Amino acid sequence: MTLPDLATARLSLRPRTLEDLDFCVAMDLDPQVHRYIFERPPELVAQRNAVKARMTSGAPTIGGYWMVAALEAPPKPLGWCALFPLEQTGQMELAYRYLPAAWGRGIATEAGRAVLAHGFGALRLDPIVAVTHPENEGSKRVLQKLGFRYQGMATHYNRRVASFRLYCASFAAKAAEASAAAQ
C-alpha cells in the first residue's frame, strides 16, 4: 500500500520511513510525551527496536503513519498522525503523537482532520475510533474538536482508556460548520 502525501494550510504530512526512526524514538523518550502513553519510561534500546519493528513490519495494511511537519524550509518535524486497526476490535483508530512544542497550537487537530478526510474519503472507513488516557485532557480536546463523541471507558493496550467514535456524516457536518464559521 502506498500512502499519499497530505497537506494542510500549515502542515505537510508524508508517509513515515526508517529515516524517521531517531526522531520518533527521541520523541517517545521525552517524559512529557510518554507520561500518558507508557506505564513506565521507555528504555532507549527496547523502544528503538519496537519502533523499528513497527516501521518495517508492513503494517498496517489499511491506513498508515504520516510524519507531520511544519511547512517551512527545511520542514520541521512535529510528530506523527496515523490510522491503524485498534487492537482486539479491528476498528480503525486515529492516533497521534507530537513534540511538546507542537501542543496547544492546533497542530494535532489540523493534521487529524487531514488524516480523517483521507480515511473517510479514499479509504471509505466508517466509523473511526480513538482512545486516550482518561487524564489526557489535551488529547480529549483534540478529539472533541474533530467531532469524536465520547463512548465511555474501555480496555485497550492493557489499560483503561477513554474511548471515542466518529462517523463520516458527523465529520462532514463538523467540517461544513468549520468552513461556514471561517467565511
Please say whether the beta carbons of 166 and 130 come within 8 A. Answer: yes
For residue 68, give the amino acid letter: V
In this predicted structure, the answer to whether residue 175 has a pLDDT above a threshold of 70 is yes
At residue 114 the predicted structure's pLDDT band, cuts being 50, 70 and 90, is very high
From first CA to last CA, the distance across the chain in angstroms is 37
Handedness of CA 145, 146, 152, 157 (dihedral sign): negative
The region, left, alpha or beta by phi > 0 then psi within -120 to 50, assigned to residue 58 is left
β-strand partners of 81: 66, 96
Cβ atoms 24, 16 nearer than 8 A: yes
With contact defined as beta carbons under 8 Å apart, do 146 and 109 qualify?
Answer: yes
Amino acid letter for position 143: L
Q: Which of 106, 110, 109, 82 is closest to 96 using CA atoms?
A: 82
Domains of the chain: 6-182 (3.40.630.30)
Note the pLDDT of residue 127.
97
Number of DSSP helices (H) and strands (E) in the chain, helices first: 6, 8
| pLDDT tens digits, one per residue of 119-156 | 999 999 999 999 999 999 999 999 999 999 999 999 99
pLDDT digits (tens, 9 = 90+) for 83-102: 999 988 889 999 999 999 99
Query: Distance between CA atoms of 178 and 153, rounded to whole angstroms?
Result: 28
pLDDT of 22 reads 96
pLDDT at 1: 62
Give the pLDDT of residue 101. Answer: 94
Q: Tens digits of per-residue pLDDT, 51-81?
A: 999 999 988 888 999 999 999 878 889 999 9
Q: Which residue has the higher pLDDT, 135 or 40?
A: 135
Tens-place pLDDT, residues 3-38: 999 999 999 999 999 999 999 999 999 999 999 988
